[in-house]
Amino acid sequence: MKKAILLASVLFVVGTTMVSCKKDYVCECSKTYTSGSSSTTKDYSVYTYKDTRNRAESRCNDNTSTGTDLGGNYSINCEIK
């Protein structure tokens, strides 16, 4: 009986340490317009991900992009804060 309790305790401790902790991570993005030699940077968007740090960083990086719109050429850069 003592061995069963000990084994159950060990499995519980091992199981709880192997689970990744999910937290709220804030992803802040900024949009930078470039025109010739000048550039303008503005806050663009904020996302909150309840996930592990690695997955939150990956999801945040997925928002990074470049393109063109009515304001000109732009790049969107995002990072976890």
Residues 6+ apart with CB under 8 A from 35: 72, 73
What is residue 28's predicted lDDT score, i.e. its pLDDT?
98
Stretch 69-77: mean pLDDT: 93
Stretch 61-72: mean pLDDT: 94
Contact call for residues 68 and 32 (beta carbons, < 8 A): no
Residue with the larger pLDDT of the pair 4 and 71: 71
What is residue 37's predicted lDDT score, i.e. its pLDDT?
85
Q: What is the pLDDT of residues 8-60, one digit of tens each?
A: 666 665 555 555 688 999 999 999 999 888 899 999 999 999 999 999 999 99
